[in-house]
Amino acid sequence: MKILHKILKGASLTSALFVFQACYGTPMNSLYEEGGDAPMSFSIVSHDTGKPLEGVKIQASTIRDRGFQEIGVSGADGTCDVQIPYRKNQIGPFLRFEDAEGKYFAKDTSLADLRQRDIVIKLDPVK
């Protein structure tokens, strides 16, 4: 009787796992591996007008306020697709958005969730 109980218990667990996999797919490794790059997309606009800003440099660092490297520049439509350096258990990455012409204040920020896509960055004009 105990053997039959163990067989039914095992079959129930196997069925539950099969249903879980059918609904959610096979388990995946973490989204990004250590030392890899996370793809991100930004739209950079003027805070006052909402119009896209061309030529804004996007810089990234894994250390706050140090070691920034340019990873992209916004195009005519204000968008830029970049690869953000990624490290597990980090607070950042830290990003800096800087207008090459100096018409807008630079903006520093960090990202909590690298899975977020199509982020809109609003820069304030220098008055």
3-class DSSP state for residue 23?
A: helix
Place of tokens 């439509």: 77
Question: Tell me: the pLDDT tens digits for 13-66?
Answer: 566 556 556 666 554 444 445 566 778 888 999 999 999 999 999 998 877 767
Q: Is residue 15 part of a domain?
A: no
Total domain count for the chain?
A: 1
Q: Is residue 5 part of a domain?
A: no
* Sheet of 79-85, strand order: 79-85, 37-46, 119-123
In terms of Cα–Cα distance, which of 61, 57, 119 is closest to 90?
Answer: 61
Residue 91 inside a domain? The answer is yes
Asked whether residue 112 is assigned to any structural domain, the reply reads: yes
State both tokens at 80.
Answer: 């830029």
Q: Which parts of the chain are beta strand (E)?
A: 37-46, 56-61, 69-73, 79-85, 94-99, 107-110, 119-123
Q: What is the pLDDT of residue 50?
A: 92
pTM of the model as a whole:
0.66
The answer to whether residue 19 is domain-embedded is: no
pLDDT level of residue 111 (50, 70, 90 thresholds): confident
Residue 8 lies in a domain: no
CATH of the domain at 118: 2.60.40.1120
100/102 Cα distance (integer angstroms):
6
Q: Look up the domain containing 98 and give its range.
A: 37-123
